[in-house]
Structure 1
Amino acid sequence: LLRLLSITHYSLPESIQSLKCRRCAVVGNGHRLRRSSMGDTIDAYDVVIRLNNAPVHGYEQDVGSKTTMRLFYPESAHFNPRTENNPDTLLVLVPFKPVDFQWMEAILTEQKRVRKGFWKQPPLIWDANPERVRILNPYYMEVTAAKLLNLSMKQPRKVKQKPTTGLLAITLALHFCDLVHIAGFGYPDSANKKQTIHYYEQITLKSMAASTH
């Protein structure tokens, strides 16, 4: 962790820090954004926080093109940091386990890639600017888990209840912003098995139930 912190940065862009009233939008990946035409509305916020590998390119009319921060973890880093973000986008690693730090360090320092310890193989090549990478403070994980989800901080090792990236992003925004709006959250109605879950892919509740996840 200390090695990783030594090659990443802590600061926020001055353009954000200097805002007297930070208006933030946390954009989820839900199906409700499809054909929503909310792109311009989302882009009008001072800060736009996106999640995981949700694409922007090709969906600008519905989800906008502005990305101030993108929260992700290794298994969800299957996006092109250059094409799916802005040049000044902050890429915020959400570390759920120790190996996540090792993966990030290996990527940024061109070391031998870490392949084991993940529930899904993370990218082995990830073209990110180290100056744009940040590490999410564990404080937000603790607050989200203990205060919002009432999860015990002393869970048995086999119990792996953890906050979602979306809920962590909302918690971060509530601490960081003066005004917070969310868009694209929520699952389809459970009775509608054919409704897609995300705005950018065809996975449905029915297909998700049949998968191993």
Structure 2
Amino acid sequence: MGLKLSAKGQQSHRLVIFAAIFVLMTLLILYGSNNVNDNIYSPLHLAINKAIKATDLKKWSGKDGYVPFHGNKTMSLHCGSCALVTSSSHVLGSRAGAEIDQAQCVIRMNDAPTLGFEADVGNQTSLRVVAHSSVFRVVRRPSEFLHRPDSSPVIIFWGPPNKMGKDAKGTLYRLIQRVSTTYSNMSCFSITASKMRRFDSLFHRETGRDRQKSHSWLSTGWFTMVIAIELCDSIKVYGMVPPNHCGKFKPPAKKMPYHYYKPRGPDECVTYLQHEGARRGNHHRFITEKQVFGRWAKQYNITFSHPKWV
């Protein structure tokens, strides 16, 4: 009888120890999960608890910060009214092409085409802002992006100085230099290393986030918007969704391709939410950037169409 009681006592003792270990492990997992969540990149309205000192982007304007790939051209473009056409599929069906072409300057990004989409995005191009990752896609289609006898576009290329910088003379630099020499109607510029650092510091100042420490990679939209503010007296943006469009936790039920010219490409909101919440590697912070754009709109005469921002 005593042996049976002893065995039962040992079994109870083991159950108590097992329960204690289980509780301890659960607490450790919850503690670890909380730490991970604290490190997830949160959008601007969650990340900042203090007032932000406004930046006067008009002081950025001028000839500094842009270096020609060929010749001694200067970045002297100035426009009264600008149409900034995004690559979003929200422009499809807008029938905004005629209105876009009426702007004094039309600004486009990367390899977003006009051929076949003229009714919605127009046909004119005054300025194209191209990321280093899109250089080859632009160069492969010279009739669309480079050789337009009816226009003399300006193209601004941005990217790491070791690839795009004049001093480094990397592969991309030499390629663009050859293209710039071949198509003399174009004016091709790169953004200097010092101005690239200013774009980084601007992101930090406007969002409270250090780009490198928060594993953020500025989007072409960020560069394009800042450059447009430099060059334009008024800006109408086509196709850009407001920062709250994709919701906090899930995208809208209706799928919208990320690019209007890639109908089978990734969904726009899924892409935005994945990038905004990512912790590892470098990611665009599309939602945070749009929150900044919304604040700039009041300061720099910016309006949004298709969809209209309320």
Please say whether Structure 1 and Structure 2 have the same fold, judged by a TM-score greater than 0.5. Answer: yes
In structure 1, distance between residues paired with 2:122 and 2:106: 9
Deviates more, 1:141-150 or 1:83-92: 141-150
Deviates more, 1:165-174 or 1:199-208: 199-208
1:205 is the counterpart of 2:260: no
* 2:143 match: secondary structure: coil
Change in 2 beyond 3 A, CA 1:108/1:176: closer
In structure 2, distance between residues paired with 1:9 and 1:61: 37
One-letter amino acid of the structure 2 residue matched with residue 11 of structure 1: T
Q: TM-score, normalised by structure 1?
A: 0.71
Identity %: 19
In structure 2, distance between residues paired with 1:150 and 1:61: 40
| Structure number with higher relative contact order (C-alpha < 8 Å, ≥ 6 residues apart) | 1
Deviates more, 1:84-93 or 1:65-74: 84-93
Change in 2 beyond 3 A, CA 1:55/1:27: same
* 1:162 match: secondary structure: coil
**Relative to total residues, which structure has the larger helix share, 1 or 2?**
2
Q: TM-score, normalised by structure 2?
A: 0.51
Matching of residues 56-205 of structure 1 within 5 Å: 56-77=114-135, 78-79=137-138, 80-84=141-145, 86=148, 87-101=151-165, 102-108=170-176, 129=183, 132-137=187-192, 138=195, 141-142=199-200, 144-152=202-210, 155-156=212-213, 160-186=215-241, 189=246, 190-192=251-253, 194-202=255-263, 203-205=265-267
In structure 1, distance between residues paired with 2:176 and 2:118: 29
1:72, 1:93 within 8 Å by CA — same for their partners in 2? yes
Deviates more, 1:81-90 or 1:184-193: 184-193
Q: How many positions carry a matched residue from both structures?
A: 185
Change in 2 beyond 3 A, CA 1:141/1:171: same
- Bigger Cα Rg: 2
One-letter amino acid of the structure 2 residue matched with residue 25 of structure 1: A
The alpha-carbon deviation at position 31 of structure 1 amounts to 1.2
One-letter amino acid of the structure 2 residue matched with residue 94 of structure 1: W
The alpha-carbon deviation at position 128 of structure 1 amounts to 6.1
1:29 is the counterpart of 2:84: no
Cα deviation 1:77-114 (Å, max 9, x = unaligned) = 2132432364411111012352233233221455xxxx
1:26, 1:183 within 8 Å by CA — same for their partners in 2? yes
In structure 2, distance between residues paired with 1:205 and 1:52: 19
User: Aligned Cα RMSD in Å?
Assistant: 3.2
1:73, 1:94 within 8 Å by CA — same for their partners in 2? yes
* 1:54 match: secondary structure: coil
